[in-house]
Amino acid sequence: MGERIVVADRLASNGLALLRSTSGLDVIETVGKGPDALKDALLDAAALIVRSETKVTGDLMAAAPKLRIVARAGIGTDNIDLEEATRRGIPVLTAPGANSNSAAEHALALMLSLCRRIPAAAQSMAEGKWDRKQFEGTELRGKTLGILGLGRIGTIVAKIAQAFGMTVIALDPFVLATHALSLGVDLLPLETVLGRADVITLHIALTEDTRHLLNAERFGLMKKGMLIVNTASACGFTPQFAGLEELHETYGNRGLVVLGFPCNQFGAQDAGSNDEIAEFCQLNYGVSFPMMAKIDVNGAQAHPLYQWLTQEAPGLLGSKAIKWNFTKFLIGKDGAVLKRYAPTATPASLAKDIETALAA
C-alpha cells in the first residue's frame, strides 16, 4: 500500500486516472460520500486534493494527523484555512494558470453575449418569436476595453480582445511596464481607464484593497447617459411604457439607461405593490428596463432624487412640482439634468435629444 491521497472534490477523469496509474499512490475518492467518510479517509492520508467545495478547516486538518500537503486543483485558497495549515507546517499548493484560458475565453463570451444580446434573443426564440430587429447588436471592433488586473487572465483577455480589433487599456499598479508595452496595452490610472473604456473587465483577486473597487462614484466616471422617468401603472399615458422600452432597446447599447420610478400621487391611481407594477409593465409593454420601488415625487416626503431633479429643471412658469405621471428628465453623461419633458411628450420625441446627449 502506497502513500494515501484523498481526493475530496470532483476532479477531471484524466487527472484522476493519472494519479491512479502512478505507482506508490493509494488514491481514495470521497466525492459525495459525506464528511464522516472524508474524515475516515484522512486518518492515514499524506495528501488531500480539493477544488472549491470542500472547506479545509482546522477541524478537518486535525482529523488528518499524517497530512503533509494540501493541493487545490485551481487557483484561489478561500476554502482553505491557510493560517492553520501554516501552523501545522502543511504546505498548500495551487495550480495557477490551470484555468486562465477558460476564464479569459469566458470573459470574451460574456462580452459578445452582451454585445449581440444573445441570452435575450435565445430566450425570445425559445418562446417561438423571431424578432430580429429588437436584438440588433453592437460590435467589439473599434471599442476600447479597460482591463482591471493585467495578470495571467487579464493578459490573455488583452490578446483576444486585440484580435477582435479592440484598443486595450489597463490598470495594474504591480505589473511591469515592459509587460504592458510588449502587449501594446496602455497602463493608466483607474479614473482614466473608467472614463475611456467602452467595456470593463475585472481580473483582480478580491482583497481589502480591491473590495468595492467599483463604487457609485466610479460608476459615475464611466461613459453613459441616463434617462430618469417618473411613471405609474394605471393612467392614460401608460402606453408610453412601450415607447420607453423602445428607447431603452435602441440606445441601451450606446449608454442610455432608462429608469422608471412609480408613484401614487396623481389621481390616487394606486400603482399596486412594487412586484405588481413590475409585472404590469413587463406583461403589457414588454418593459425590460429597471422599474424602481414606488416613491413620492412631490411634497415633504419627496425622494431626494426628485427634490434634486425638480430643483435643477423646474417645469412651466418655474413651477417645481411634478404635475402628472410620465414627466421625464434627461440626464447627461456628466450627471447634469439636461431637460425636463411634460407627461404628454412621447418617448419617441426625445430621441433627438438623447442622440445629442450620447454624442456629447
Ligand X SMILES: NC(=O)c1ccc[n+]([C@@H]2O[C@H](COP(=O)([O-])OP(=O)(O)OC[C@H]3O[C@@H](n4cnc5c(N)ncnc54)[C@H](O)[C@@H]3O)[C@@H](O)[C@H]2O)c1
Residue numbers at the binding site for ligand X (CB under 6 A): 75-76, 96, 99-100, 103, 148-154, 171-175, 203-205, 209-210
Least CB distance to ligand X at residue 14 (A): 19
Could you tell me how far CA 181 lies from the centroid of its own chain? 28
Residue 4's closest CA among 23, 20, 28?
A: 28
DSSP string for residues in 9-56: S---HHHHHHHHTSTTEEEEE-TTS-HHHHHHHHTTEEEEEE-SSS-B
Nearer to ligand X, 95 or 122 (CB): 95
Whether residue 304 contacts residue 261, with contact meaning beta carbons closer than 8 Å, is answered with: no
DSSP string for residues in 109-127: HHHHHHHHTHHHHHHHHHT
- Whose grid coordinates read 479597460? 146
201: phi then psi, degrees, rounded to nearest 5:
-130, 135
Nearer to ligand X, 63 or 222 (CB): 222
- Whose grid coordinates read 422617468? 229
Closest-by-Cβ residue to ligand X is: 151
Least CB distance to ligand X at residue 50 (A): 15
Least CB distance to ligand X at residue 2 (A): 32
- E runs forming strands in 215-318: 225-231, 256-262
- Whose grid coordinates read 476532479? 11
Nearer to ligand X, 210 or 349 (CB): 210
- Which grid coordinates are listed for 354? 438623447
Amino acid at 11: L
Could you tell me how far CA 25 lies from the centroid of its own chain? 43
Nearer to ligand X, 53 or 59 (CB): 53
Whether residue 233 contacts residue 262, with contact meaning beta carbons closer than 8 Å, is answered with: yes
Residue 229's closest CA among 291, 277, 287?
A: 291
Least CB distance to ligand X at residue 77 (A): 9
- Whose grid coordinates read 501594446? 184
**Cα 278 from Cα 308, distance rounded (Å):** 25
**Cα 312 from Cα 336, distance rounded (Å):** 8
Nearer to ligand X, 112 or 292 (CB): 112
Least CB distance to ligand X at residue 95 (A): 10
> What count of residues does the chain have?
360
Nearer to ligand X, 50 or 297 (CB): 50
Least CB distance to ligand X at residue 61 (A): 23
Least CB distance to ligand X at residue 56 (A): 17
Nearer to ligand X, 209 or 275 (CB): 209
Least CB distance to ligand X at residue 143 (A): 21
Helices then strands, each counted (H, E), the chain = 14, 13
Nearer to ligand X, 101 or 356 (CB): 101
Least CB distance to ligand X at residue 27 (A): 25
Nearer to ligand X, 5 or 148 (CB): 148
**Cα 301 from Cα 168, distance rounded (Å):** 46
Nearer to ligand X, 204 or 309 (CB): 204
Least CB distance to ligand X at residue 58 (A): 23
- Which grid coordinates are listed for 38? 472524508
